[in-house]
Structure 1
Amino acid sequence: MTKRFDIKDETLGMWLGVIGVALFAVTLPMTRLATGTQAAPQLSPWFVTLGRAALAGVLSAIFLLATRSPRPASHQWKPLGMAVLGNVIGYPLLLGYALRVVTASHAAVVTALLPLVTAAVAAWVLHQRARLGFWLCAVAGSLLVVVFSVLRASQSGHGFGFEWADLLLVGAVIAASFGYIYGAQVTPSLGAERVICWVCVMALPVTLPATLFLWPTTPIATASWLGFVYVGMFSMWIGFFAWYRGLALGGALRVSQTQLLQPFLSILASIPILGEPLDVVTLGFAIAVVATVVIGKRLSQPQALASSAAAPLPAAARTGGR
C-alpha cells in the first residue's frame, strides 16, 4: 500500500531536503579550501578524510548515547561497513586529492552523475530494473562528462586528453554510490539518523588515532581549518540529518528531486568562497548533465520506489554528499 503524506509534512520534508542538498553542495568548495592547491597546499587530503570522519564520529557517539540508541543487529554490520568504505574513506579521500588539481566547479559537473551511477549500482546490487530510456540518459550524461573533461584539459594546455583528477572524481562517485546503496539497505530498520551515526562510530577506532597521528606540524591557514570543520560537522553529519528526515517526511520520490539543485549550488558557492569565476562553459555542461538526470528519472524509476514512496532506496541512496 502506498504511504500517504500530510500536506504539512510534505512541505516541511521538501524544505529539509533543500537544506540537506545545500549543505552537501558546499562540500566541494570547502574541501578545496581545506586541502589547498598543488601550488599552495594546506591540510593533506588524508588528514581531511580521516579528520572529518573522526569529528563526525565523536558527535555521532554523543548522539547515540544521548538517544540511548540500540546496537545494530549482526546482519546490519556488513552493509554499515561497506558504507564506511564508500562514504567515510573512498569518496572524501578521492575528492580531496582531485580538488587539489581541478576547480570545485569542474568537480561539481563530474559529481553531478552521482544519481545515475547510484542507480546503476542499485540495479546491480539490489537487482532493480530500469527501462532502456533510463540507461540511454545515463550514457548521454557520461558522454557529456567525457567531452567536458577533454575540453577543459585542452584549454588548460595539457593537450587533447583527460585530467588525471577526473579519474579520481569518477572513483569518488563510484565509492559514494556503493556507500549509499549499502547504507540504504539498513535505513528502513535502523533509522535514517542512526545509519550515518553508526557508520561514523564504526570508523572511529581508525579515524581518531589516525587524525592525531596526521595532525599537521606546519602552520595552516584559518580558512582551511574552517573548511575542515565544515566538512566534518555539516557534510559528514548534520547534512544527513536534514536530508534523511526530509525523505521520511515528504516522501523519497518527491524530496529526492531537490538533489538536482546540488551542482548549481556547488558552482554558486565556489564564487564567494574560492573566488572562482562563473564559467559559462562549466555552467552549460552542468545544466546539460542535470538535464539527463531529470529526463532519466522521468523515463524510469526503480519498481520498488514506484510502489512505495517509503521503500528502500535508491531514491534515498542518491544523496550527495557527502
Structure 2
Amino acid sequence: MGKTSSGWGNGFIGMLIFSGSMPATRVAVMDLDPLFLTGARAGIAGLLALCALLLLRQQFPTPSQWRSLAVVAVGVVLGFPLLTALALQQVTSAHSMVFLGMLPLSTAIFGVLRDGERPRPSFWFFSLLGSALVMGFAAAQGLSASWRGDLLMLLAIAVCGMGYAEGAKLSRALGGWQVISWALVLSLPAMLVLAVVQWPANLAAVGAPAWLGLAYVSLFSMLIGFMFWYRGLAQGGIAAVGQLQLLQPFFGLALAASLLHEAVSPGMVGVTLAVILCVIGAKKFAQPALATAR
C-alpha cells in the first residue's frame, strides 16, 4: 500500500510539472525558434542526465533496450517538443490544452498495440467520439486559420503517447529515471548540433520570459517531470497512475489563464471535460483486456 501511495504521489508531481509545459513553450517560442528550443531543451537536459548516469554509475542498457529507448527519444525528446513548439506559434497554449485531453487515450492505444491486445468495441467507440469532439471544436474555432497548429498538436499527441507507452513498459526493467536519462543521452549529439545550428542570431532580442520558458522546459518538462512520472508508473502501475494525465488539461488551462492571461472560453472547458469523459470510458474498457493478458 505504501508503494502504491508513493506511486500516486510521484505521478501527481510529474503530471503537475508537465502541466506547465505548454504555457512555458508558448512563452519561449515568442522569441526563440522552435528548432533551437527543441535542441536546447533536450541538450541541456541531456547533459544533466549524462552527469547523473555517470556519477551514479548506472549500467548500460542492452541492445534491445537501446531500441526501445530510441522509440522513447523519438516520441518525447524530439517529436513532442518540436511539434508542440511549432504548433504554439499558431495556436494559444489554452487551445492546445484541449488536445492534451487525448494524451491518456493516445498512451492507451499505443499500449494496446504494443502488447497486442484486442479491446472491446466500446473502447473504440469512446476513442472515436473523443477524436470527433476535438476535431469538431477545432473546426468551430475556424479550422482555416489554425489547421496547421491543430494538425501539429494531433501529431504531437500521437508521438507522445507512443513514447509514454514504450517508456512505461521499459521502466519496469530499466528503472524510471534511467529511461528518460538514457533516452536524452541517446539524443544528445543530434540535439546539441541542432541547438548550435539554430542558435539565435541576436541574443539581445530574446527577452527574459523566453529564457525562463526555456529553463522550465529543459529542467522540469524534459527531465525532472519524467523522473517523477516514470517512477510513479513503476510504483503504482501504468494503468492506474496513468489516469492522472486526465487532470493535466485543467492545470494547464489554469496556468494559461493566470500566467499568460489567455482567454479560456466555456467551449474550451466543455470540450476538455467531454474528451476526458471519453478517455475515462475508453480506459475502462481497455483495462480488463490488459489485466487478462497479464
TM-score normalized with structure 1 length: 0.86
Q: Structure 1: how far apart are the matches of 2:161 and 2:246?
A: 16
Letter in 2 for 1:216: P
Q: Does 1:189 align with 2:173?
A: yes
Partner residue in 1 for 2:28? 34
2:187 to 174, 179, 203: 203
Q: Judging changes above 3 Å, is the alpha-carbon distance between structure 1 residues 119 and 251 closer, same or farther for their aligned structure 2 residues? A: closer
Q: Structure 2: how far apart are the matches of 1:56 and 1:305?
A: 35
Partner residue in 2 for 1:61? 50
- Partner secondary structure for residue 142 of structure 2: helix
Letter in 2 for 1:193: W
Q: Does 1:11 align with 2:5?
A: yes
The Cα of 1:86 is off from its aligned counterpart by 1.6
Confirm or deny: 8 A CA contact 1:111 1:170 kept in the other structure: no
Letter in 2 for 1:301: Q
1:288 to 252, 259, 274: 274
Partner residue in 2 for 1:115? 104
Letter in 2 for 1:270: A
2:260 to 268, 274, 286: 274
The Cα of 1:121 is off from its aligned counterpart by 2.4
Q: Structure 1: how far apart are the matches of 2:96 and 2:243?
A: 20
The number of aligned residues is 292
The Cα of 1:205 is off from its aligned counterpart by 1.1
TM alignment of 1:153-302, pairs within 5 A = 153=142, 158=144, 163-218=147-202, 219-301=205-287
TM alignment of 1:94-109, pairs within 5 A = 94-109=83-98
Runs of 4+ residues over 4 Å off in structure 1: 305-308
Q: Structure 1: how far apart are the matches of 2:166 and 2:231?
A: 18
Partner residue in 2 for 1:311? none
Letter in 2 for 1:214: Q
Partner residue in 2 for 1:39? none
Aligned-residue CA RMSD in angstroms? 1.7
Partner residue in 2 for 1:315? none
The Cα of 1:236 is off from its aligned counterpart by 0.7
Confirm or deny: 8 A CA contact 2:42 2:222 kept in the other structure: yes
1:115-143: CA deviation from partner (whole Å, max 9, x where unpaired) = 21222223333312211111100000001
- Partner secondary structure for residue 287 of structure 2: coil
Partner residue in 2 for 1:133? 122
Q: Does 1:83 align with 2:72?
A: yes
TM-score normalized with structure 2 length: 0.94
Q: Structure 1: give runs of 5+ residues left out of the alignment.
A: 1-5, 37-41, 309-322
The Cα of 1:90 is off from its aligned counterpart by 1.2
- Partner secondary structure for residue 50 of structure 2: helix
Letter in 2 for 1:222: A
Q: Does 1:152 align with 2:141?
A: yes
Confirm or deny: 8 A CA contact 2:91 2:149 kept in the other structure: yes
Partner residue in 2 for 1:312? none
Which moved further from structure 2: 240-249 or 259-268? 240-249
The Cα of 1:272 is off from its aligned counterpart by 2.1
**What percentage of aligned pairs have identical amino acids?**
36
1:157-216: CA deviation from partner (whole Å, max 9, x where unpaired) = x47xx6221111111111112222333342222111101000000111111232123221
Letter in 2 for 1:210: L
- Partner secondary structure for residue 222 of structure 2: helix
Partner residue in 1 for 2:113? 124
The Cα of 1:18 is off from its aligned counterpart by 1.3
Q: Structure 2: how far apart are the matches of 1:122 and 1:248?
A: 15
